[in-house]
Amino acid sequence: MRPSSAYQEASKVLSHVSYFKGLDPATFTTIALSAYRQDYEAGQLVILEGEPAAGLYVVQLGGLKVSKIALDGREQTLQLLGEREVFNAVSVFTGALNQATVTALEHTRLWVIDRNRMLELLDSNPQLARLIIQDLAGRVSHLIALVEDLSLRSVEARLARLLLEQAVQDVVPKKKWATQTEIAARLGTVSDVVSRTLRKLQEREVIQIGRQEIHILDRPGLEQIAMIES
């Protein structure tokens, strides 16, 4: 029987995911057959914090943000997700409710693998279990680094580090969704502070702000600012 187009699409996406690389063909086929596709537009909620976990998500295309929202409405972005990334593993493998809210930043296509299916595979496949443990350890390290940044570094230092991380040949492209409000949510501050800090960096001639991108004029200077502790 000829494989369905959905199965072929799922197989192509999942074959690039670290979780599933190197699995035996039968196990991989089981995973690909059980995956189903979901599409979201910018601003749509994918996961709501506190709700039961539906399954493990794999990003085919687009971008999302993982965030925690306080009772007063203030948002802290924990992570940005892009193609081939996996998310919601903690809730899937611990049985906990969704740990954060996930929102699409642009048109996004995801593949979802049912939680019960993943647990069955985990019980029968030690190699998959090892890969998942490695991934979860990496996520813990990411959160530790985020806590360190928020507690030990100033907004100026956090913004400098963000610009350096996003720069390609000293140019930081401005994505449509990358508003100052979104940047503020990543840095643990508010948009007015981001605006003032960007102007300050420009006045010090370490960056030049354009309409579609930000140019890094003095990389060593920006790197020095990124290391300053509050």
**CATH number of the domain residue 214 falls in:** 1.10.10.10
Percent helix, strand, coil in the chain, to 5, is: 45, 25, 30
At residue 119, the pLDDT reads 87
Residue 211, pLDDT > 80, answer yes
Q: Name the nearest CA neighbour of 116 among 94, 92, 97, 136.
A: 92
Which pLDDT band holds residue 5 (cuts at 50, 70, 90)?
A: confident
Residue with tokens 């595979």: 121
CA-to-CA distance for 204 and 49, rounded, in angstroms? 41
Q: Region 60-83: what's the mean pLDDT?
A: 90
Q: What is the pLDDT of residues 122-143, one digit of tens each?
A: 888 787 788 888 878 877 887 7
Average pLDDT, the chain: 88
Mark which of 119, 150, 181 sits at the end of a domain: 150
Q: Name the nearest CA neighbour of 78 among 96, 95, 90, 92.
A: 90
113 and 163 inside one domain: no
Q: What is the pLDDT of residues 7-16, one digit of tens each?
A: 899 999 999 8
Which are the contacts of 195, defined by CB distance < 8 A and separation ≥ 6?
A: 180
**DSSP E strand stretches across 41-187:** 45-47, 55-61, 64-69, 75-81, 86-87, 101-104, 108-114, 171-173
Which are the contacts of 146, defined by CB distance < 8 A and separation ≥ 6?
A: 78
59 and 78 inside one domain: yes
Mark which of 150, 180, 199 sits at the end of a domain: 150
88 and 175 inside one domain: no
Which pLDDT band holds residue 159 (cuts at 50, 70, 90)?
A: very high
CATH number of the domain that 123 lies in? 2.60.120.10
Q: How many separate domains does the chain show? A: 2
128 and 171 inside one domain: no
Q: What is the pLDDT of residues 180-195, one digit of tens each?
A: 888 888 888 888 999 9
At residue 230, the pLDDT reads 55
Residue 2, pLDDT > 50, answer no
At residue 1, the pLDDT reads 43
Provide the domain limits for residue 127.
5-150
CA-to-CA distance for 128 and 21, rounded, in angstroms? 9
